[in-house]
Structure formats: structure tokens, C-alpha cells
Structure 1
Amino acid sequence: MNEVSQLLQRRSLIVRLQDLVTRERSAPFRWTLALTLFAVALIVRLIINDDLPSGFPYLTFFPAVIIATLICGLWPGIISAILSGFASWYFFIAPAYTFELTPGSVLALLFYAFIVSVDIFIIHTISVTSISLRQERQALAALAATKERENVQLLENDAYQKEMSLELAHRMKNQLALVQAIVSQTLRSATDMETLATTLNGRISALGKAHDMLIHGATGHAYVEDIVGDTLALYDDTRLKISGPKVEIAPRSALSLSLILHELGTNAAKYGALSTCEGMVGIRWTVSDEAEPVFEIVWQEIGGPQVAEPSRRGAGSRLIMAGLGVGSQVSLNYEPTGLRCTAAVPLSELQNKQ
């Protein structure tokens, strides 16, 4: 455990050092810092000059050059090294306070130039390598983030495909049940083969038109009466009581209304009032006389089998409960006499074409 802790501490220290070296700094800051380091090194060297034996003219300048190159960059480090060389030559290499070249001063300057050049080369190489490693880490992090987003998108797409597959299965099941109900009702009411063929053909055609409208949606302006009539045209109109004022409806709301009516009609043909010979369905809509009018449509089944609220809500029920737009309120009441569905929405939202 101690070894792991020490390894993590060393790794943290390395990361901090890399951050110190590779951090981007402005040019004024870098040059100011490099010159400040040189000035501090010179002042400290002058202060301790009397306490040092001869032969240490560069004692404080080497750290200043190393730090300047490490933090401020190559050229600030080089300038700091040149200034440090001249300062050492003038103040601390005999004869002091002069730039006279003697064999001793030449040797000392050559030694300084060699050592400081090696230091700058090593420090600059470390800095370039650290910057390259940082860029690679950033590129890898960006790539990992991209891959993560792609994986999330794939998971979302997979979930969406599964949801669409379930919805398609539900729709196909409803369509087959609806065709079966249409054929069954037509057979019960037809008096001869010619009437049977004509009625059955008309209702199947109406089903196809309603299906096309659900897929492609309504375009341009439409009226509630037209949407109700087109969507429920496949059912026996003698068993439908439709009433309501002329209300214009936006395409988006028309599609929502078509979906709700199609779902209610399918359920009525499979389980409700339209699954028997005696059942009836009333569809009535009104617009309230208020400052902000509210559109309300009521689907009421009577004379069918006794209904009961299902134990769980399926895709069809969720579609119905989605309503007709923002601010929509939908209620499903499973009354003993038949299902009653009420949907209300502000008229402005129903007619909103945005």
C-alpha cells in the first residue's frame, strides 16, 4: 500500500512539473522573469562574494539560467546565460571590474560557456519533449471523449431502434386487428356479395388513406371535421355521431389528432363499442367562449362490451395521453357504459403552425 502511495505521489509530482514546464505564458512575463532571475542571481552573488573562496564566479548564475530556460523558454534562457557570463567576467573573474582577457579568464569563460550550453540544451530538450507529451495527452483525451460520445450515440440509437421496433410491432398488430374487425363488421351488415365487395373495398381504401395521413402528416390548413371524417372513414358512419363547430387546425396538431383518433378507433374496433353490432361512438368537440379559448374534443363509446381499466399502459395509451400540444390535458375514463376520452388544449396552441 505504501509503494502504491509513493508511486502516486511521484506521478503527481511529475505531472505538476510537466505542467510547470509546458504552461503557456506571455512574452512580457517570460522576459521579465528571466531578467529578474538574472538580477537576483547577481545581487546574491555580490552579497556572498566576500564569504566565498576564489573559483566560484558562476555559483548563483547556473540555477538562474536553468530556471529561466525551464520556465521562460529557449531565448530568454540564452540571453540570461549571456548576461550572467558578462557579469561573472566583469565582477568575479580576476582581474575584477574589467573585461580584460587573461589566460585564466579565457579558460573560465570557456568552461562556463560549455557547461551552460549543455544545461540549456538538456533543459530545452526536456521542455520540447514535455510539450509534445502534453499535446499527445490532449489529443488522446480528445479522441477518448469523441469515442465516448460515439458510444453514447450508438447506445441511444440502439435504444431508439428497439423502441421503434416495438412501436412498429404494435402498429402492425393494430392494423391486422383493424382489418379483421372491418371484414367481420362488413360481413355482418352486407346483404349480398356485390354490396359486400363494394363496402369492404371502400373501407380498406379508407384505411389506406388514413394510414398515409398518419405517415406523411397533414399539409396546409385543415379542419377538425375533415380530420375526424378522414380518420374514421373506414368505420360504418351510421354508428358514429360526429358534431362540432368548424375549427381550423395546424398541420402538427392535425397529425396528433389523427394519431389519437386512429388509436381510439382501433381500440374500439378490437375491444370496444365498434367490436359489436349495437355499439356506437360519439365524437363531439367544442371551443369555450373565454378570453383564451380552449378546444375540447370528447370520444364517448356506448353500447359495447363492459370495459375495465388495463393493468398497464401500452404504447397506444401513451400516444393518446401525449395530447394535442403544449398545455394539453387528456383523461381516459373506463366507464361501465364505455370508454370516455377527453382531450383539451388552448385553441392558440391547436392553431400554432410553428
Structure 2
Amino acid sequence: MDWRVFRETAVFRYGFAVAATGAALGVRLAFDQWFPPGYPYVTFFPAIIVTTYFFGAKPATLCALLCGLAAWYVFIPPRFAFDLSFPTFIALSFFAFVAAVIIFFIDGMRRSVRQLAAERERHARLAESRDLLYRELHHRVSNNLQVVGALLRLQAGGVSDGDAKHALAEAGGRIEVIARIQSELHTQVGEPVPFRDFAQALLADATQAAGARVTLTLEGGEAPLHPDQATAVTLVMLESFNNALEHGFAGGEGAMTVRLDQDGHHHVLTVSDNGKGPPEGFDPATSRSLGLRIVRAMAGQLGGRFEMTRADGLTVCRLTYPPRPD
């Protein structure tokens, strides 16, 4: 029989109570000459405490009963007799009261500890199940978005109208970008990824797809984005970045800096480049470009504002938005 199963059997539990009583009696006899008169129970209380702690109230009650009888017979005068005088009755009553208090409180503590352990185990299982469901849902959402993006691109291949074909291809590409964002925001175990870690991968892919030779610098963004803001902020970053690749460098060389400041009352995302910049009189607030309309929509969703300026040879796209509490 397995030891853990055997120690929970009645034979072992009540046998331990008897053995604890015998051990307490043996210790008390061995040190009898060292104890002054009037301490018949001094070694029996630890036996009751240990039995209660490990095996509960019922074995402890047996232990207390045996300890009381042993102390009464061996150590309470007249010794080796069950004489029930009034002083003896008082002493036994006091022993019974103290033993009952010990059993009540220690058994209650024991039950509470076991209940707490069971609750912790249950919550751990629930958390594991929740994380598994979250990862599965996250994976399915990303896959479904990728499928939708691929279907739009496939549909674009069968459209003869140039504008419609371009619109479908762009829509499919942006949906696939959102799917990529969703898949990159968290690790395999569901932990949020710092902004700069997944931004590095996304921007590297965008640069490679554009065929541009750009020196990219990433600053700030050591903390993860808030889940409710991550997609919008990342879309603004990618639209600004791709706009610079397409119009600022046009396949040439250059340098770009992406910075996210997450301190203070507002977070600030800045995408700057040393490309040729927008044409004279260009106003991003009134532009009909789909990319800029998406950027403005995302800024509005975040409750922030988007600006595009040209200064010191740099085109600077800046998104300012209020953080959300965790």
C-alpha cells in the first residue's frame, strides 16, 4: 500500500494517537525526578498538539483521553490508583478543558490550512485553464484575420478595375497587419511583450517589404502597451513608417527614428525621418489619403491627437494620447 494512502487510514491515525500517548508517558517517567510536584500533564499536552495537527480532532480526542487516564493513574496522588477526590476532579477537569481548547483551535487551523490549499489548487487550475483558453482564442483570432486578409488579396486578383483592385489589396494587407499585431503582442504563455520588442520585428518586415535601405533607431517603449490601445498605437506607427518609406525615401537610403515615451500624463509616439518630406502646403488634417485617414481615426479612438510637422530637415509624425489605467 502506498505510504500516503496508509497514513490516512484509521488504523494509522488512531495508532499514532496511542503511540504519542505512550511516548509522552515514557518521557514523563524518564524525567519524573526533574519535575516538581503538581505537573502531571507537562509532557502530555505536546502529544495532544502533535496528534491534532497531523490527524485531526478524533484521533486527538483519543490521545487526550489516554493521556488523562495515564496522568491520573501514574502521577496524581495516590499514584497507581484511580482515586477521585475533589482536588483530583478539579485537576482532571482543568486538563480536559485545556485539551479541548487545544483540539478545537488546532483542528480548526488545520481545516483552514487544508481549505486554503484546496482553494489555491482550484484557482491555479482555473488560471491555467483561463490562460489556455486565452492563448487558443488569441491564436484563432489572429489566424482568422489572416484568412480574411488573404481572401481580400485573392479577391483583388480577380478584379479588373484598378482602383478597386488597389483598395482590396490595401484592405487585405492592413487586415494581415492587424493579425500580425495581435500575434506579436503577447508571448506564447500570454505575457505582454514590451513595445520595442514587437515593434522591432514589425518595422523590420515593413522595411524589407518596401525594399528600402533605412537605418532604424528604436527608443523608449520598454513597457508593454495597454491591450485596449495596442492595435491603434501600432497601426499609427506602421502607417507613419510606411508613408515615410513610400514618399520620403522612394526606395532610397535614409534614417528613421521611432520613439515611444510612456512617462507622464500622456504617452507620445514619434516617427521621424530625414526623407524629402511632404509637398509644400500639405495638411495632414485634410488629406484624403487612406493611410492618414486611418491614422486620424486611430488617434480619435485613443482620445489623442496626431500631428505631422517638418523641422530641421526631419519629417516628424507625432501621436499624443492619454494612457489607460491597468
> Which structure: larger Rg?
1
* TM-score, reference length from structure 1: 0.42
> TM-score scaled by structure 2?
0.45
